[in-house]
Structure 1
Amino acid sequence: MELRQSCGRTGSCFDNAAAESFWALVKGETGARVRPDRATARDEVFAFVETFYNRRRLPKHKAFGYLTPAETRQGHQHTLAA
């Protein structure tokens, strides 16, 4: 099996824009403070992603149909099953 590394071009900030935007949102919503340990930080990020980001957040663009990521995934799985 041949594997190909996936990474952006050196010096191009746009290659990683989606990930940078996501982590900026996480820091803004959960607070950019030091946690007592890695497990606490992991739990807080998991709770944010699962309780807000995937279930209640609405994308700011109508191209996504104003659906949450969880609703989009559910619709896609329904389409694949049909």
Structure 2
Amino acid sequence: CMATMAWLNKRKVTISMSRRGNCWDNACSESFFALLKKEWTRRLGLLTRKEMTEEIHFYITQYYHKVRQHTALGGLTPNAYAQQLNAA
């Protein structure tokens, strides 16, 4: 574990840990990454790092924000929800 922490620190990776006993701290991130894997990357098979980076970028910028409807946002996409908030 110490070797892992040293490796991350050397690369200036910000480590995210929840507060002790609080299971909700990372719930949004974990939900997003579960969707990313289930909806997008699982179907791709083996890709190069560059190809996977491009696929994830596309998922986030083109699909997740512009196309994918979210029940928590009343069935709107994040972009449509933000536009609705800005118009109000």
Please indicate, yes or no, whether the TM-score normalized by the shorter chain is above 0.5. Answer: yes
Unaligned runs of at least 5 residues, structure 2 = 1-15
Q: TM-score, normalised by structure 1?
A: 0.67
Q: TM-score, normalised by structure 2?
A: 0.63
Pairs aligned (count): 71
Unaligned runs of at least 5 residues, structure 1 = 1-5
Stretches of 4+ aligned residues off by more than 6 angstroms: none
Root-mean-square deviation (CA, aligned residues, Å) is 2.2
Residue 43 (structure 1) aligns with: 54
Describe the superposition over 1:33-60 as per-residue Cα deviations: whole angstroms up to 9, x where unpaired.
55312x3222111111222211121112
For 1:50 and 1:60, the matched residues in 2 are separated by: 19
Aligned partner of residue 19 in structure 1, secondary structure? helix
Mapping for residues 1-20 of structure 1, pairs under 5 Å: 8-20=18-30
Match of 1:66 among 68, 71, 75: 75
Higher relative contact order structure (alpha carbons within 8 Å, sequence separation ≥ 6): 1
Describe the superposition over 1:6-36 as per-residue Cα deviations: whole angstroms up to 9, x where unpaired.
8630343321001000001001122245531
**Change in CA separation of 1:58 and 1:7 when aligned onto 2, cut-off 3 Å:** same
Residue 76 (structure 1) aligns with: 85
Residue 30 (structure 1) aligns with: 40
Q: Percent identity?
A: 31
